[in-house]
Amino acid sequence: MAAEYSDVRLDCAAARVESRVADCRPDPSAPASTPALRVLLTAFHPFAGDGRNPSAEVLAAIVADPPIDGLVAEVLPVVYADAGRRVEQLIAEHRPAAWVGLGLHAGATAITLERRATNADDASVADNAGDVRRGVDIETGGPTYRPATLPLDGMASAVGGRVAFSDSAGRFVCNHTFYRAAAAAERLEPRPAVGFVHLPWPADWPRAGVRADHTIGFDELVKSVAAMLRVVC
């Protein structure tokens, strides 16, 4: 996920940020003491030798100017076990109305909405702890797929063009985290909506291998994620 740093930097030690105030889905019938519902937004640190990860920097920009109230955000490690464990902890702790995971698909030219997570870790690249997993179930005996339950069609409409849908979130840490987040949501009532969004490498960030037909810049990625979060709420 990366090349040279630009002016935008993320202090990963301070990556967990909670925005102010209320419920993004107010219920007029709810008692005044009902705690605020929240959207949990996560992204990932750099990995595979890259110096930056656009998902983390998009998250930082969202936190700096939240498009919704009641937002909780955290950058996760690119480590199978740690990322999965942490997203489960966050969902259990905050009991959000929705979880939106952000990750990087560097070769894409569109913002990709993932329809489902697959019960498999199977990637040739190592995570940031050096763990290479091939053909490993995420949850022994678990379902083959866990679906996204976010309003994907509405999110796509909010963004407009250059959006794609996918039935495969890969078999690396993004998919692992998506699967475990969906499993954690199933244990709660009311059940949080969950889903994962893969972002392309920003067209205005120099990087070898970026396709010539890719035109989505960093600012547009930030605006697109903000628009999707408004629909989620």
Task: Identify whether 198 is a catalytic site residue.
Answer: yes
The CA-CA-CA angle for residues 215, 218, 221, to 5°, reads 85
Per the residue annotation, which of 24, 45, 74, 114 is the catalytic one?
Answer: 114
Structure tokens at 220: 């547009």
Strand spans (E) along the chain: 17-18, 39-44, 71-76, 98-104, 111-114, 116-118, 145-147, 163-166, 193-199
Catalytic residue among 198, 214, 220, 233: 198
The reply to whether 174 belongs to the active site is yes
Q: Taking the CA of residue 1 as centre, how many other CA atoms within 13 Å lie in the half-sphere pointing to its CB? A: 24
Vertex 172: Cα angle to 50 and 119 (nearest 5):
170
**How many Cβ atoms are within 10 Å of 115's Cβ, its own excluded?**
17
Angle (nearest 5°) at CA 86 between 180 and 34: 90
Active-site residue (options: 94, 174, 176, 233): 174
**Kind plus residue range of the DSSP H or E element containing 210:** none
Give catalytic residue positions. Answer: 114, 174, 198
